[in-house]
Structure 1
């Protein structure tokens, strides 16, 4: 029976989209990692709580097929701030997040990181002349 569950989760992972603008932070990648971790032995994995596994699958499948988006349609494609979907995607992209982190550092920290000399190699003792 766990073999059928495993195959259902694999099919769900194939259908779940990946967001390439959020490398390592998107839900599709996280889902694939969790399925790999939960089913370490593949189809031979023995599940401790099959009912909970079925609940998780059904919830993820409903999200993937947009059940709630269709049941509760939005009147506008903006948030309360007025930011559109495309603007949100652009702001949440990994490149922009890194840039914002750089800006948060402040001038002093940025300057000290830029001009600090890192000594990766330990200085060797100079040979003694006798």
Structure 2
């Protein structure tokens, strides 16, 4: 098992699936990349491996909230004035489906 694959699995453990965003969740997309890392073929170049390592490092920084911890926020609202929880509710699949039904 490659070191990139093991590192990716550790990242996925920190990134849970969001049931409210089925089909639009980044964790869901990341899990779809597992087969690529699980069985790299012999034609994988050093350049591609370097790209995978950079992606793993970036995902690891995001999953650990390094930038959130480094750059403290003064305000905890968004540009819309909604809280993070309210934004999550507005972006849920159920709410988007409700809006679509109201439009039709």
TM-score category (smaller protein): 0.7 to 0.9
> How far apart, CA to CA, are the structure 1 residues paired with 2:23 and 2:60?
21
What whole-Å deviation, never above 9, does each CA across 1:29-72 have from its counterpart, x for those lacking one?
11111233x2252xx54433111111000000000000111111
Determine the C-alpha separation between the residues in 1 that align with 2:3 and 2:41: 11
Q: How many residues align?
A: 101
Q: Which runs of 5+ in 1 are unaligned?
A: 106-130
Instruction: Tell me if the contact between 1:39 and 1:45 (Cα under 8 Å) persists in the aligned partners.
Output: no
Distance 2:89 2:55 in 1: 30
* 1:64 pairs with 2:63: yes
Question: 1:98: which partner in 2?
Answer: 97
| 8 Å contact from structure 2 (residues 4, 37) kept in 1 | no
Secondary structure of 1:83 counterpart: coil
Pick the structure with greater CA Rg.
1
- TM-score normalized with structure 2 length: 0.85
Provide the alpha-carbon RMSD of the alignment: 1.7
Task: Write the deviation string for residues 80-120 of structure 1: whole angstroms up to 9, x where unpaired.
Answer: 22111111011011100101111222xxxxxxxxxxxxxxx
TM-score (norm 1): 0.70
Distance 1:83 1:6, change over 3 A: same
After TM superposition, the structure 1 = structure 2 runs for residues 109-120 of structure 1, keeping only pairs within 5 Å, are none
